[in-house]
Structures are given as C-alpha cells and as structure tokens.
Amino acid sequence: MNNEELKTLAEQLRQPDGLKGIEIADKMNETNIKMTFHSIDRLDISNNDHILELGHGNCKHLSYVLKQKNKLTYYGLEISELMNNEAKRVNQRFIEGKQALFYMYDGQNIPFEDNHFDKIFTVNTIYFWTDPKLLLAELFRVLKPNGILNITFAQQDFMEQLPFTQFSFTLYDNKKINQLIDTTPFQTVGSDTQTETVKSKTGDIVNRDFTTIILTKCPNC
C-alpha cells in the first residue's frame, strides 16, 4: 500500500465511513474480538449493571456483553454515524428489548449525567483521543463510585510495526498510559497483557501484545 492508501486506511480505522467503512468494521470486529472479550471479561459485571462502551464499531459483540449477567443495560457511544447506524441494525432485537441504547458523541463530551454507569470499557480507541485528559475526566464524572473503567490497547512496540499508524495515531506502552492515568483521580487496580497471533489490517500475520488496564473510581472522590 502506498502512503495515500495507508492514510485512508488510518482514517477509516478512526472513523469508518461509506461502503469501505462497513468492510473495515467487519475486519476490525474479526481481528479485535479477543481484545474486546478480554476487556469485557475483566469488568467484573454484576446483575443490573449499566455498561458504557466508547467506540463500539458495528457492535457484533453485544450478545457477549449481555450474557454475562442478568438485567444489564448497555449504552454505546460512537463518533462514526455509520457505526452508530450499523450497531442499531445489527442489534435491533436488543434495542427493542430495552437492553441496548446507541448514541453519537463528539469524542470528548459524554452526554450522560454524573455517576450513571457501573462499568465502562473501550477497545482500541485511545490512539485517537484528541484530548485524553479531558475524556478521562468525563469518564470519571459519569462512572459511579467503585465503578470500573477498562482501557484495552495494543502495545506501542507492536503498533509501530504497522505502516498506517504513522497517520494520526498516538501510541502507548504501559509507562505512557500509567503517566496519563497519574494525571487523573482514577486508581489503577489491575493490568493484564496477552499476546495473540492475528492478521493485520494490511493482511500480514503478526504477533500482537495487548493490555487491559483496569481503573476504579474511589468512593470518596
């Protein structure tokens, strides 16, 4: 792929659009599903939880979320109108059953009241956050005391091997993400790194190290 094609791919990964965006979303769902399950499994979901996901893509993993416990309510936030529409199409039965709601947002300001969510998770979105401190402050605001926020991301040394990440990606390793978290009131309660073999967005077979960092909101914050 030439630089223009790589730049276009990077833009689609950030915010899928058009027919190509639907194709990219399916590939993302396929290649990222283990990361997504990893993040969900470490949320410690309880019955009746309200769960927020940032950047859900086509959200074909929603059934996995909702089978974790009983009487869960899932909220999805997207910056991509295409992904918002795709998620609604794919998950119409959960919407009709009042188990899922999907919303658009601007990537920074979260359109919910304080202390609304028991659990929050996001997978492979941190590279695109335009103002990480502001967004983390918003996540802290809408999370209930003792709630859990899971951020799942691929490690910087892996991401640097992918040619499209030179375009508008901010990469993280454990040191960098811990430095970012240290600027917030969140407390880190866990971190889990795994390695998997996947096909990259450019079609290559690669070994990927990815991490879920587990944060909580202390009850007196």
Tell me how far apart the alpha carbons of residues 213 and 126 are, in angstroms, rounded to a whole number: 12
Predicted pLDDT of residue 19: 77
HSE at residue 36, side-chain half, CA atoms within 13 A, is: 20
- Asked if residues 155 and 205 have their Cβ atoms less than 8 Å apart, the reply is no
DSSP 90-119: HTHHHHHTTSEEEEE--SS---S-TT-EEE
Q: Is it the case that residue 152 has pLDDT exceeding 70?
A: yes
Amino acid at 155: Q
Q: Is the dihedral of CA 151, 156, 162, 163 positive or negative?
A: positive
DSSP state of 80: -
Percent of the chain with pLDDT over 90: 76
Tell me how far apart the alpha carbons of residues 49 and 51 are, in angstroms, rounded to a whole number: 6
> Which domains does the chain possess?
3-216 (3.40.50.150)
Q: Is it the case that residue 201 has pLDDT exceeding 80?
A: no
* Residue carrying structure tokens 């998770």: 121
Predicted pLDDT of residue 221: 62
What angle separates helix 81-90 from helix 18-41, to the nearest 10 degrees? Answer: 70
Task: Work out the average pLDDT over 124-142.
Answer: 97
pLDDT per residue over 161-188, tens digit each? 888 999 889 999 999 999 999 999 999 9
- Asked if residues 138 and 167 have their Cβ atoms less than 8 Å apart, the reply is no
Per-residue pLDDT band for 153 (boundaries 50, 70, 90) equals: very high
Return the number of other C-beta atoms located less than 10 Å from residue 145's C-beta.
11
Tell me how far apart the alpha carbons of residues 211 and 99 are, in angstroms, rounded to a whole number: 28
Tell me how far apart the alpha carbons of residues 86 and 107 are, in angstroms, rounded to a whole number: 18
Task: Work out the average pLDDT over 43-58.
Answer: 97
Q: Is it the case that residue 11 has pLDDT exceeding 90?
A: no
